[in-house]
Chain A
């Protein structure tokens, strides 16, 4: 396990480099000049050249270029890729093409929103999925079980964006209530916790329902598996109450795969954040990258994509570490 994790950690920089290279290259092979896309109406050759110079688009894209004339291989010290990567390593993610604002400033405002959204989602998903899953496993083939299985397959199937639209509509049509961010914009938790939670509850719920369905199914199958074990029979025969058997003996052992799956779902949640944030008008990372992609703001896209990938890979690594820590049998395996 140690070796495995060490390999994962050592591999991390290479994967990150690959991710950076791919996103960089992808947005350089788009036909059409990025500068022309962004100068809009006043596109004279001079302004385009000035824009290209300002954003360094007139420099060679890659540090190495191959040519048919000698010298066949050329090394560029001032390449765009090198400049960007160097900046990223120093903590400078470049700045937006359209708004001229540094990406790091923008992210400073937006990352807390996405983190809060994902945190609430995981909390909600756990508090919905875990109890229902446990209940369904300890009362198999009863109405409780049928209901929970039906709910899980339903939540699993209804796409988050559809659920979100329905929730918004019902709020407006039936209660004449819409989430406060549609009017006021994001309110930080420390300024006004009540408004802040109102803003985040529904987007988090929309994401969490799908997530809780996964947890429900997983908890149920893991618990069914665990409840068959000898030590559970021993616990029963000791005369322990059901609560003690289920929560202390069974769930403790069933929780390990559940934690893994939460980690594996982080990628899905990051993707879901893109959808839910744009639906609920939350100015988080997801909405930022979506808008940048639609605007073709290549500097924002390449940096934020890299950030998404880094958070995803690091989250997965973290889960692996947690896994080994939670289950001592795995540690030296």
Chain B
């Protein structure tokens, strides 16, 4: 079986001119269409996340209402008359509407159809004035479950909230949780990993046994267990964060319960830290055997200085790579625990929480697919984008596979997180 691997001969090439560099970038992009697609998805996530409140067409939290006017009041209403004939409006029991600014609601018995229109019984509000025949009837309804259309490209959900706006805000929440979890997790992981690897002996043993214990839990179970403890209404961690840090207690960045979302991010960060500690420690074990570490020590450098100036710079690249690989995993983890109903509070426009909405899923079986379909699609596209981007980078960085179109095979389990 013949397999042709075209190895490009680029070795003799000199440092390219700026314009040439652009050209090469373009040709690289053309060779990796999936990578470009991934970059597009990830860029879209960042764009939507950062500018969410500027680009949303509606408030993701607001119940959308609609005013409809029917010039169809056939019979005048006398002060004591509570019967009303209307031409064509579909008014069910419980509907509220206004006539000349007076609020009325339809009460049982149910509407009866007569020759000229529908007769309904109404409950009148305080004022007892009579209304003219032909007065406008203003209906004020929440527009729930409307199909995707030009004004609502992704439709509205059963709470009459605009799905597109919620998906865009979901990007912000995903990004916020992902980045917070990665930054805190990777920083803490690098810190403990360097200390554990550098000092060895008892410090290493203590830290690594703790890591062993935390790694013994399946990730989802660990996250569930910790979040129920830490995220509890009056847990000490939560109270500490609320009282002793400048974190806002209420709404922030357009997210209604910022503190809860932040706590979810911290807990995911803990899981990230556990993993990072193990990996960084392994790298440090080999780095600290280098001669320059001995040299630094011989020159009288302190442990802290050696770790910061000689060891950390050598694991920094690894830490950055770990962070970028774990970012989609963290986003997915948030969605999963929110889906299980343990993550962000109910009603937060998070993709996972929207997917878990019981009513929306019931409606989906009856053909109202958009409130569930779009958040899930967004989540899948984001993870897909990160994976494709990662594959493209791996292709580019593995010289054996460069140009052969054979990449995307390495790693295997690396891109797959706890879900």
Contacts and interface: CB of A to CB of B under 8 A. Distances in A.
Interface of A: 11, 14-16, 18-19, 22-23, 26-27, 29-32, 137-138, 140-141, 149-150, 153-154, 156-162, 165-166, 168-169, 172-173, 210, 213-214, 217-218, 220-222, 224, 227, 236, 242, 245, 257, 261, 264-265, 267-268, 270-272, 274-275, 278, 289-290, 293-294, 296, 301, 305, 308-309, 312-313
Contact of A268 (B3, B342, B418): B418
A218 B224 CA distance: 29
Interface string B380-419: 1101100110010000000000001110111111011111
Contacts of A14: 209
B379 A268 contact: no
B411 A217 contact: yes
B304 interface: no
Contact of B416 (A18, A32, A210, A242): A210
B85 to A, nearest CB: 40
Contacts of B224: 274, 289-290, 293
A214 B416 contact: yes
A265 B413 contact: yes
B355 interface: yes
State the majority secondary structure of interface residues on A: helix
Nearest to A261: B413
B364 interface: yes
Contacts of A141: 404-406
Contacts of A274: 218, 220-221, 224, 340
A29 B216 contact: no
A275 B369 contact: no
B321 interface: no
Contact of B213 (A19, A270, A272): A19
Contact of B383 (A11, A22, A27, A157): A157
A32 B232 contact: yes
B366 to A, nearest CB: 8
Contact of A27 (B229, B411, B419): B229
A305 B413 contact: no
Contact of A161 (B226, B336, B404): B336
A227 B406 CA distance: 14
A261 B412 contact: yes
B380 A158 contact: yes
B387 A156 contact: yes
Given A271-B219, A301-B225, A312-B217, A140 B406 contact: yes
B406 A309 contact: no
Interface residues of B, number: 62
A275 B376 CA distance: 15
Given A265-B413, A308-B218, 18 more contacts: A18-B210, A22-B213, A30-B228, A137-B409, A140-B406, A154-B384, A159-B419, A161-B335, A165-B361, A168-B365, A268-B417, A270-B221, A274-B221, A275-B336, A278-B340, A308-B217, A312-B216, A312-B217
Contacts of A305: 217, 221, 225
A30 B419 contact: no
A332 B196 CA distance: 29
B326 interface: no
Contacts of A218: 412-413
Contact of A272 (B220, B361, B373, B411): B220
A153 B391 contact: yes
A165 to B, nearest CB: 6
B216 A160 contact: no
A179 to B, nearest CB: 13
A282 B69 CA distance: 50
Interface in B157-214: 209-210, 212-213
6 contacts: A29-B236, A159-B383, A161-B339, A172-B365, A218-B413, A293-B224
Contact of A221 (B367, B384, B410): B410
B384 A153 contact: yes
Contacts of A261: 412-413
B341 interface: yes
A224 B406 contact: yes
